Amino acid sequence: MHPTLRRFRYKAARTALRRPLAWKQNRGLTKHDVFLASVERSGNTWLRFLLAEILTDREIGFDDVDALIPEMGAHGGVAPIVPGGGRLIKTHELYRGEYKKAVYVVRDLRDVLLSHYARDLSMGFAEYYFGKNGFDDYLLAFLKGRTMRYGSWQQHVQVWLESPLARSGNLLVVRFEDLRRNSEEDLQRIVEFLGAPANPDRIRAAIRNNTVEKMREKEDGSRKSQARKVFLQGTAAKNDDRRFVRSGSVQGWRKKLTPPQLELIQRYAGDVLTRLGYPDGTVPEAADSNLASAIRA
């Protein structure tokens, strides 16, 4: 896609123009479908690969993952993969009434911010928010929900945590950081939530096949194929910041964000970060309590 057209689509997707598209993309859902929901850059794609391999018992690449666990809008004609005859569908949308059961993946806002910024900068989008203060302008736009299609990180999280699914027990919240640290345990919990057998051997094999290094090998392989995925467009394999699969860091923000920036984040999203058990970035690291387990409310 031409860079100018890509920038136009980027800007249009952050206005009311995207509402008809969102309606169209969410057509054809059933009460049996289950959703993998998250803010972008929160580890949703990694979880898609893990679950696809666990549920099918075969290794999955970028060129065939959509045939098993599609992105929202690409789900038409995809065969069911979860018990009960439902499809497993990835979405970054806010909660919608059509969604009857979902796994919600959440990642620390501060790491999501840095991942978004690196990708937007590499694709020429971040400059749209640049003023005389550079990254600080981007940060403020991010916190106000201007850099993402679905509003701010904190708004997205609150909508899902306070959705009818959360009250009915049909929402499983999984923190990216916990999934990285306790992959086998959290994957077992997710698979059981889906109603599928949690086979330990399959879970361990999926974890081995989807490390950062393995995912990058899959990304590189997809770039060489003729079936290159849309979500790899605009990224580059030779630059870590421009890769689709980046480092997946946990608390990488501690080395990159300044005290004033952390204070601004705390002002806009501190309550939600605390609710999810994330540390307060405005206090010394030694004073932070250990990260809590994923919220189950």
Alpha helices, DSSP H, located in the chain? 3-12, 18-25, 44-56, 109-122, 135-143, 153-161, 164-168, 176-181, 183-193, 200-209, 212-224, 259-275
Q: Fill in the amino acid letter for 139.
A: L
Q: How far apart are CA 226 and CA 219, in angstroms?
A: 13
Highest mean pLDDT among 51-60, 67-76, 237-246: 51-60
DSSP designation for 242: G
For the chain, percent of residues with pLDDT exceeding 70: 78
For the segment 176-194, the average pLDDT, to the nearest whole number, is: 96
Other beta carbons less than 10 A from residue 279's beta carbon = 19
215 vs 247, higher pLDDT: 215
What HEC string does 5-46 produce?
Answer: HHHHHHHHCCCCCHHHHHHHHCCCCCCCCEEEEECCCCCHHH
What confidence score (pLDDT) does residue 220 get? Answer: 75
Domains of the chain: 22-287 (3.40.50.300)
Per-residue pLDDT at 289? 40
pLDDT above 90 for 254:
yes
Per-residue pLDDT band for 25 (boundaries 50, 70, 90) equals: confident
Cβ atoms of 58 and 209 closer than 8 Å? no
CA separation for the pair 11, 18 (Å, rounded): 10
Contact 66, 81 (CB under 8 A): no
How far is 245 from 236, CA to CA, in rounded Å? 10
Is residue 177 very low, low, confident or very high in pLDDT (cuts 50, 70, 90)?
A: very high
Q: Which of 114-118, 120-124, 158-162, 274-278 has the lowest mean pLDDT?
A: 120-124
Question: Which residue in this structure is represented by tokens 């004609």?
Answer: 77
* Mean pLDDT, residues 253-258: 94
Mean pLDDT of 123-131: 76
**SS3 for 103?**
strand
Structure tokens at 14: 């952050």
What strand order describes the sheet that includes 88-91?
A: 88-91, 34-38, 102-106, 171-175
Greater confidence (166 vs 73) lies with: 166
pLDDT at 153 over 70: yes
For residue 237, what pLDDT is reported? Answer: 44
